[in-house]
Amino acid sequence: MSLYPSVLFVLLVTMAAAETLRPGFYAQTCPEAEAIVRYEMMKAMIREPRSVASVMRFQFHDCFVNGCDASLLLDDTPNMLGEKLALSNINSLRSFEVVDEVKEALEKACPGIVSCADIIIMAARDAVALAGGPDWVVRLGRKDSLTASQEDSDNIMPSPRANATSLIDLFTKFNLSVKDLVALSGSHSIGEARCFSIMFRLYNQSGSGKPDPAIEPGFREKLDKLCPLGGDENVTGDLDATPKLFDNQYFKDLVAGRGFLNSDQTLFTFPQTREYVKLFSKDENEFFKAFVEGMLKMGELQSGKGCEIRTNCRVVNSQALDV
């Protein structure tokens, strides 16, 4: 899981980039923007509760790959392999249609004003708030990229098999701390994941031919039934015991050995991250505070390559004119 030096360089937050982002960015040009996003997210949640968890993860998958520029949302073209089919995204990220609905509503209210990159940031915040988690003021003013890169995503985004050491290394490269890593992993407080992501944990951890010993036996029995060898690996399981509620249950589950993904449970088995897991399992307010801080820091990742305000989040404007 290597990072190209050029990719890392452009993602380091500069003062110039940070100054362009500010609360209330659309107060004059589209004063109802944030209310529109919240309303559309609420409609999506009523229709399918899991969708908001899916949309929340777009911020992580977008911002870590060439900055928060909505490159994640671009569909493939004959000349470009986008990020939707990257290893960490294919058959995993979903609910792109929710962003389409948000964008359509914003274009009706104030055409050509609100970027898709900012929609991701607002929608992620709203997903957390609507699921019972913290609410916060977001800094806006991003522009949308003209391209995307499946290769960059494959080289940057972590695997569900990742251990705490590799995750710490990755987050450090983006000026995110160990505390940020653990807190942001709490995004798995809501949502589901596929059996595909845990088969190795259940049946061949580290090539041993045995299950991960960190899995609590009763929980392992439950997972064995959900994800049997030779079964449908697209079946999904809850990421924690309260998958529709954004709370600190995720961390309580890790302490109990009931983390779904290896990249989750490793946070408790690894000494450098364990204390934060224990802290957040006992103090939900501390988790919420650290999560908001992490989301704001991650939202500052900028490449300087944002060039336009897309009218359709799936295609750049020059292609949208041809559709």
Residues annotated as part of the active site? 61
State the residue for tokens 């607002």.
122
Q: Radius of gyration of the chain from Cα atoms?
A: 19
To the question of whether residue 126 is assigned a binding role by annotation, the answer is: no
To the question of whether residue 144 is assigned a binding role by annotation, the answer is: no
To the question of whether residue 62 is assigned a binding role by annotation, the answer is: yes
Q: How far apart are CA 316 and CA 323, in angstroms?
A: 11
To the question of whether residue 240 is assigned a binding role by annotation, the answer is: yes
In one letter, which amino acid is 188? H
State the residue for tokens 């991701």.
120
In one letter, which amino acid is 256? A
To the question of whether residue 69 is assigned a binding role by annotation, the answer is: yes
**Residue 89 near residue 81, CB atoms below 8 Å:** no
Report DSSP letters for 55-96, one per residue: HHTHHHHHHTTTSSSSGGGPPPBTTB--STTSTTTTTT---H
Q: How far apart are CA 135 and CA 149, in angstroms?
A: 31
SS3 at position 180: helix
To the question of whether residue 188 is assigned a binding role by annotation, the answer is: yes
To the question of whether residue 247 is assigned a binding role by annotation, the answer is: yes
Binding site members for Ca(2+) = 62, 65, 67, 69, 71, 83, 240, 242, 247
Annotated binding site: 62, 65, 67, 69, 71, 83, 158, 188, 240, 242, 247
Known binding residues for heme b: 188
